[in-house]
Structure 1
Amino acid sequence: MQSPANSFILAGGSNVVVGDGGYPGTVVLVRNRGVKVREAEAETVTVTVEAGESWDGVVAQAVESGWSGIECLSGIPGSAGATPIQNVGAYGQEVAETITAVRVLDRTTGERLVMGPEECGFAYRASVFKHNDRWLVLSVDFRLARSPESAPVRYGELARALGVEIGDRVPLADARAAVLALRAGKGMVLDPADPDTRSVGSFFTNPVLEAAAYSAFRERAAELGEPPSWPGSGGVVKVSAAWLIDRAGFTKGYGSGTVGISTKHTLALTHRGGGSTAELLDLAREIRDGVKDRFGVTLHPEPVLVNCEL
C-alpha cells in the first residue's frame, strides 16, 4: 500500500471534484462488494456492508427486507464506504444514527482496525475520515430496526409529501418512493436524460452558526422575512444554504456558460457541457462571496476537492 501522500482512494466519485490537472499520483478504486447479516435479534438486525457496494442498492435491499432506519437516504448516489466519511444525511436521517462500527485500514501503519461511532467523530456532514487520508474504509456495520414501517418522519417536506404529521411512521416502501420523488424533482437522482443531474449534489453545506452570529445574520436578513433554520445542541443554529444563495441573487438556472446552478435546486452546481473544474470553482466562489457580502455568512463546500481548492 502506498503512503497517503501519493495515492488517492476513489469509490463512486459522486461527491468528488477533481482539478483539471487530474491527480498527481495513483488512484485506487474501491470495488469490494457484499452485504451480510452479522447479527439478528428480535427487534434489530446488524448488517455488514462492504465499502464498494452501491449505497442506494443497500437502501433498496433494507426496504425490501423490512429493515428500518435508512429509508430516507434513498436515491443518494455513491458507495456505502463513503457514507461514514461524509456522515451522509437527508430528509431527517443520517448514517451516524445507525452505524455501529467502521472497519478501516490504517494507511500509515498497515493495521486493520474496528472503529466505534465515538471514534468516528461524527458531526454534521463530517467525521474523522473526511479530509484525512489516513484511513481507508473497508466495510460498515449498520444496526437497523426490524420493522415494516419507517422511523418516525422528522422532515417537514417529506411529511407533507406523504400526507402525514411529523413523528408519524409510514410503510418503508412509501417512505422510499416519496424520497425518490422529492429528489428527482430537485435533479438529485441520476438521470441521463436530465442535465440537472450532472452535479455532485449539494455543493455547499448548510451553515451552522453560533448564537451571536445567527443574531447578526437575522438582522441583516430582516427585510426578507424569517429565514429557514433549525436549532442544534449547544445553542447553535443551522441555516438553509439554499435560502442564502437564492436571496443573495443566485437563483435557479443562474449562469450563462458551461456551468451553472441547477434549474431545479439552488444548491446544485451543474455541468452544461464542455466546462472545466476551474469554471465550476469560479462559479462557486462567486456564490460564496456574494452570500458573504450580503449576509455575513460563509458557505463551505460539501464535496471533496482533489488537486483544486475553493
Structure 2
Amino acid sequence: MPSPTLASLTTLRLGGPAEHVLTISAPADWADAVRTIGQRHEQAPVVLGHGSNVIASDAGHLGTAVVMNTRGITATRVDDTTVDVTVQAGHPLTNLTAWAAAEHLAGMECLVGIPGTTGAAPVQNTGAYGQQVSDTLDHLTAWDWEMGRMRTLPTQACRLRHRDSRFKSNPGRWTILTATFRLTRSPAAAITYRPLADELGVPLSARPPVAEVTAAVLANRHRRGLLLTPHGPAARQAGSVFLNPPVTATQATRLSATGCPVHTDGDGQLRASAGWLLEHIGYRPGYKIASGIRCSERRTLTLTAHDGATATGFAQALTELSTQVEIATGISLHPEPTQVGAWA
C-alpha cells in the first residue's frame, strides 16, 4: 500500500508521502499516539489540523504526521455573564464561532469564516477585523515534546503577539490539545475596524448584537474572496500568503500618501497592506506567478495552486514576490503559511 501523502492532508493539495499518519479522533487517543511515536524513536511528529495554513514539502515527511481531529465544546459558567469555553484542538474554528454566536457569547465573532482548527488558532494568534485569539484565550493544554509531559499554559505563557506565539517560534516542541476561552454573554466587542463598521453601518466603538457582527463579517469575507471553498478555481490555497509588514512612522506616512492602507495592530505596531504592496508593483488577481501557481481571481494576496504546481515552486514564488516588493519599496514581506516536512 502506498504511503499517504501530505497533499491529501492540506488545502493546497501539495506535498509528498508521510511515512506514518495517525489520526487523533478522541482525547483518549493521545496517550497511544505518544507511545507509538516514542517506540519509533521520533522526537516530534508533524501535526496538522485542516492543513489550511501550511506548505507541505514535495519530499514529504520521514516520520509520523498526526491529524488532530478531536471535537467537542464544554461550557462552564463563571458568573451571570461570563462563560469559560473549553474546546478540543481538532474542533473547526468556524464551528466554534458559529456556536458562540448562537449562544450570544461575545469575544470571537470577528473570527468567523477563518478556516482551520481551534488548536491551530493560538499558534499564530489568529485574528481578523480587529479581533484576535489573545483577546479571549484564558489558557490551553499542550503536550511538551521536550519535557515529555502535558502542560497547562495560561495566556501570558503563550507569548501571543501579532500572528506569533511561543508555539510558532519553537516549532516541533508543542502540540496543543485543548484551548479555553473566556467569553461574555453580551453585545459584541466594540468595533475597531473601519471596514467592518462600514459593513454594519455603525460608528467605530459601537457594540451591535453578536449575530449581526457574525453575519457582517461573513458577508464581507465572501465579497472579498476570503472564504475557503472546497471546489472551484480557488479551492487549492493557503489563505493570505504574506503577513502585513511592519513599517516605521515615516514609511507609514509615505505609503498612506500613495493610497496604501496602514493600520495599527494589537501590539501597537504600524503595518502596511501586503496585498496593496503586491498590486503596487504590478501583480493583479488572476496573475500567473509560475507554473501552476496564480494569484486568486478575487484577490492578489491569495495564491492558488493548479495542475503543474509543486510545493517547491510555491515556496519559490513567495520568495520571488517578497524580493520584488523589497526591491521596489524597501519593505520586506514575510510568508504566513508554515512549511512542514523535509525541506532542503
TM-score, normalization: structure 2?
0.82
Show the counterpart of 2:282. Answer: 249
Call closer, same or farther: CA 1:234–1:277 in 2, change over 3 Å: closer
Maintained 8 Å contact 1:81/1:137? yes
1:273 pairs with 2:307: yes
Once residues 168 and 304 of structure 1 are traced to their aligned partners in structure 2, the CA distance between those partners, rounded to angstroms, is: 35
CA RMSD of the aligned region, Å?
2.2
| 2:72 is the alignment partner of 1:38 | no
**Superposed CA offset, 1:44-89 (max 9, x none):** 1110001010110000000001111101100111110001111000
CA 1:300/1:309 → structure 2, altered by over 3 Å: closer, same or farther? farther
C-alpha contact 2:59 2:343 (8 A) present in aligned 1: no
Q: Alignment identity in percent?
A: 35
Q: Are 2:48 and 1:13 aligned? A: no
Aligned residue type for 1:196: A
2:158 is aligned, of 110, 116, 120, to 120
Contact 2:261 2:272 survives alignment (8 Å): yes
Q: Which moved more, 1:23-32 or 1:48-57?
A: 23-32
Deviations 1:184-240 (A, max 9, x none): 22322122343224211111001113x3xx525755x58x71421123588741111
| Post-superposition offset of 1:38 | 2.8
Q: Map 1:147-296; keep pairs closer than 5 Å.
A: 147=186, 149-209=187-247, 211=248, 214-216=249-251, 219=254, 225-231=258-264, 236-255=269-288, 257-296=291-330
Equivalent residues, number: 304
Q: Is the 8 A contact 1:189 1:197 kept in 2?
A: no
The offset of 1:101, in angstroms, is 0.2
Structure 1 stretch displaced more, 29-38 or 76-85? 29-38
How far off is 1:253 after superposition? 1.4
Mapped to 1, the partners of 2:43 and 2:210 lie a distance apart of 43
Question: Residue 304 in 1 paired to residue 343 in 2?
Answer: no
With structure 1 as the length reference, what TM-score do the two structures score?
0.91
Give the superposition deviation at 1:293: 0.5
Superposed displacement of residue 138, structure 1: 0.7
Distance 1:298 1:240, change over 3 A: same
In structure 1, the gaps of 5 or more residues are none
Counterpart CA distance in 1 for 2:104 and 2:272 is 34
Q: Secondary structure at the match of 1:79?
A: coil
* Structure 2: tracts of 5 or more residues without a match: 1-33
SS in 2 for 1:243: helix
**In 2: Cα distance, 1:145 partner to 1:292 partner:** 43
Moved more, 104-113 or 73-82: 104-113
Matched, 1:110 2:110: no
308 and 296 in structure 1: CA distance in 2 versus 1, 3 angstrom threshold: farther
Whole-Å separation in 2 of the counterparts to 1:110 and 1:228: 45
CA distance in 2, matches of 1:279, 1:37: 44
Residues in 1 aligned to 2:327 and 2:43: alpha-carbon distance in whole angstroms: 36
- Superposed, 1:49-64 pairs within 5 Å as 49-64=87-102
